Amino acid sequence: MSLAQTAGHLLLILLLIEARKTPGNAHSLCLDLTVKSQSRPGQLWCQVQGSVDTKPFLWYDSASNKVKPLGFLGKEVNDTKAWTEISQTLVEAGRELRMVLPVIKLDKNEMKGPPTLQVKLCCQREAEQCSGASLHFSLDGQTALLLDTMSITWTVIDPGATGIKEEWENNQELAEYFRTISTGDCSYWLREFLKHWEKMQLPEPTEPLIMAPDISQSASIRLVSCIILLIITQLVLIASSS
């Protein structure tokens, strides 16, 4: 791995941390889609988990073709208009990704079979407006690309996966479809779900809020330690090869 790739990985890690942070009145909605390009009839080819402020509230899989509520928030909002809309969109988005996956040009030397595409669609709201939106692309569990859908800025992590970027740039209809979902629909759904979410925060004495900073701080410490170890490892490799 080159120094540039290492820097790219570290940049993505920091961006992912920022996307998941919800300080003050900021909140986030993320949809994690996993799509397989090939599957036998009746086999699972798409699954989605939705989270508000990193807490799962929704699950969809192509085998059952049903969107299921998770946790208290899921049960609270599963009869709302926003729930109906997000359910329909998830089915459509999964199909769009499955159709485009076979035509994406990838580095075949690194592929051990039909690829699995993971797309993390996230949006953030702060001060009653959309403050961020992004798409994170991974192939077979390996982070490949990051797209800021508000500024249309790409961060390439894996050069072998630039075919995804090329397809997004060439297929304007596909790009506009997911840009609209991430910057528009996602923000609207988040706003509607927050009306229920914020009401539910007070009557949950079993999860005291005072514990949240400690958990977050411990996770941050572990993450920083891993980053430092990664940097040291790369410096040693670079020094030994020079």
- Identify the pLDDT of residue 73: 92
Interval 200-229 mean pLDDT: 48
What is the DSSP secondary-structure string of 145-192? EEEETTTTEEEES-GGGHHHHHHHHH-HHHHHHHHHIIIIIHHHHHHH
**Confidence category of residue 106, pLDDT binned at 50, 70, 90:** low
Report the Cα–Cα distance between both ends of the chain, in Å, rounded: 14
Q: Please, what sign has the CA dihedral across residues 4, 9, 12, 14?
A: negative
- At 13-33, the pLDDT tens digits run 444 444 444 445 789 999 999
For 38-61, b where at least 16 C-beta lie within 10 A, e where not — what string?
eeeeeeebbbbbbbbbeebbbbbb
What is the DSSP secondary-structure string of 30-93? EEEEEEES---TTS--EEEEEEETTEEEEEEETTTTEEEE-HHHHHHHTTSHHHHHHHHHHHHH
The secondary structure element, H or E, covering residue 17 is helix 3-20
- At 219-229, the pLDDT tens digits run 455 555 555 65
Task: Reduce the DSSP state of residue 235 to 3 states and report it.
Answer: helix
Q: Please say whether the beta carbons of 19 and 131 come within 8 A.
A: no
- At 131-166, the pLDDT tens digits run 899 999 998 888 889 999 999 999 988 887 788 888
Q: Rounded distance, CA 12 to CA 2, Å?
A: 15
Interval 198-210 mean pLDDT: 51
Q: Rounded distance, CA 217 to CA 161, Å?
A: 33
Residue predicted with more confidence, 104 or 206:
104
- What's the predicted TM-score (pTM) here? 0.71
Interval 182-198 mean pLDDT: 90
Average pLDDT, the chain: 78
